[in-house]
Amino acid sequence: MQLLIVDDEILFVEGLKSDLRWETFGVSTVHTAYNIRQAKEVFENYPIDMMLCDIEMPQGSGLDLLIWVREHYPKTESIFLTCHADFKFAQQAIQLGCFDYLLKPVTLAQLEEVIVKAGDKINKESELQQYSRYGQFWVQHQPILIERFWLDILHETIPSNLEAIRASAAERNIPFSEEMRFLPVLISIQRYHKELSLRDEKILEYAIQNSAEEMIVEQKEKGQVLLLGSQNLLAIVSWDQEAEPEMERLKQKCEAFISSCRSFFYCDISCYIGNRAFVHELPSMVHELSHREKSNVAYNNTIFMLSDKKQSSKQVAMPNLPVWSVMLKEGSMSKVLAEAERYLESMMQTGELDARILHQFHHDFLQMLYHVIMLKGIQARELLSDAVSIELAPRATRSVTDTMAWIKHIMERSLQYVKTIEQTQSVAERVKNHIALHLNEQELSREEIANYVYLNPDYLDRIFKKETGISVTEYLVQERMGMAKELLSKSGMSISSIAAHVGYSNLAHFSKRFKSVTGMNPNDYRQHGRNGTNGKSKTE
């Protein structure tokens, strides 16, 4: 500390300066002044912590100086020394914030006692100021520090036992008690109802987090809302006692929150409320809430309780997909779409629909659809390479809403694609696609192919030969033998199986036809193929 003595009696000033053991009071420097003007100069040049001042001085009273000091250096502690026992002086000094008022002559012991008390006050205020600065930092950064603490608990970076959690809380200066109970509420943003950029989505997510803090937690000291990841938040609410009215009130707050989010943030939200738990029990409970959230594919804007009985994972009947397949082949896509909606709606009403069943339905439907579009000569990669398909496909099993959006899109796109192909393909291209899809069928003949394109067989031959240079029958044999050569060279299938695969029920007939095209029988062709010298066909 630095101290200033102000008195017009020079001998008194020098006596004080030399007689007291200033270093024992924590005073490192003692300044002196003999009037108000000199005192002000000292204040302007040095940080004065304490002032000993006379009241009666020729160039102005100590009270005047105190008024100036309180205005310009309010942290300085002032002690008055005076020969006048005037109550008015003492009263005014105290009103101005004087630390003490001593009458001359004063003993060194009295003065030392007062200086020590004033020094203690200065040190305490300095310490409080430091704590205040730290406190401001804590208030500003406390939410971030506590959020990190909670996330470390939930991710089990801090082990799920009371000793580890207590030690971590102490290290971070976070209040913690083993008796504290909490109630977790998982908030799932199921979907937004408008197109959003990534930036807009993050802004809305932040707004939803703030709204959850206001509407569900209500008071910051009673909990916190954490971001758990993409479209998932967790409200951790302090929950001291188990009370049914309080739980009902929480449900009402969640309902109001869901309604507000639909109105103001363009989204569907569901809340999953856990049970009252100790801190170390929260990770496993939040994991179970997350499992419930992933299993919910049927319901939007709903509140779920962890205490509610879970549905059993029993086998359920899938729809009659072979019938749907026939309907799709005939072009009845709207009817199939209606059937799919009816099936999923009935499963929702019975409460049997969960993520597992929706996943099975999705894959069975995909298999059926791919089979139908293959029969129509469409490659799945061609059908599903557009931006909308790429966006919808990953979300297709998240909910019934997403599944139906994906089914509607893919069926509409299939219909458009089939129409486009039928309008743009030539007769020869349609014939080639039909042959490729039915190459293994024994009944595939020139007449059957002509019926497929609604043309007379002879007329079809003329059109096809004009475009390709060969007849339909020649092209069919060429494709069958080409497939047979590939299978003989690259597979271990028996020759009779290969014959059946390319549309020949009679092995002798196949062998004769194969030799007429390649110059060798199937077995010789296979042996030459293994030796790296496949025979050449007669047309090559």
Cα angle, residue 121 at apex, residues 117 and 122 outer, rounded to 5°: 115
Residue by residue, DSSP assigns 372-426 as HHHHTT--HHHHT-SHHHHHHGGGTTT-HHHHHHHHHHHHHHHHHHHHHHHHH--
Say what the pLDDT of residue 138 is.
47
Please report the sign of the dihedral spanned by the C-alpha atoms of residue 112, residue 117, residue 118, residue 124: positive
Contact status, residue 437 vs residue 371, Cβ threshold 8 Å:
no
Nearest alpha-carbon partner for 409 in 438, 384, 429: 384
CATH (residue range 456-530): 1.10.10.60
Q: Alpha-carbon dihedral of residues 44, 106, 16, 39, nearest 10 degrees?
A: 20
Say what the pLDDT of residue 498 is.
93
Element (H, E) at 50: strand 50-54
- Look up residue 285 and give its two tokens: 């409970």
Contact status, residue 399 vs residue 302, Cβ threshold 8 Å:
no
Say what the pLDDT of residue 309 is.
66
Q: Judge residue 258's burial from the number of C-beta atoms within 10 Å of its C-beta, 0-12 exposed, 13-18 middle, 19 or more buried.
A: buried
CA distances from 259 to 219, 306, 402, 406 (A): 20, 21, 21, 26
Residues of the chain with pLDDT under 70: 84-91, 93-96, 127-142, 241-244, 309-315, 376-377, 420-425, 530-540
Say what the pLDDT of residue 140 is.
55
- Max Cα-Cα span within the chain: 141
CATH (residue range 177-305): 3.30.70.270
Say what the pLDDT of residue 288 is.
94
Tell me, what DSSP letter sits at residue 513? H
Stated pTM of the model = 0.54
Say what the pLDDT of residue 164 is.
92
* Residue percentage of the chain with pLDDT more than 90: 34
Please report the sign of the dihedral spanned by the C-alpha atoms of residue 370, residue 372, residue 377, residue 382: negative
d(CA 85, CA 103): 7
The residue type at 206: Y
* 46 φ, ψ (degrees, to nearest 5): -140, 150
d(CA 344, CA 363): 14
* 502 φ, ψ (degrees, to nearest 5): -105, 20
Contact status, residue 273 vs residue 254, Cβ threshold 8 Å:
yes
Q: Quick one: 2-126 is in which CATH superfamily?
A: Response regulator (3.40.50.2300)
- Look up residue 88 and give its two tokens: 């008015």
d(CA 230, CA 233): 9
Contact status, residue 525 vs residue 534, Cβ threshold 8 Å:
yes
Q: Where do the structural domains in the chain lie, given as residue ranges?
A: 2-126, 177-305, 321-424, 456-530
Lookup result for tokens 């856990």: 274
d(CA 166, CA 158): 10
Say what the pLDDT of residue 59 is.
80
d(CA 292, CA 232): 13
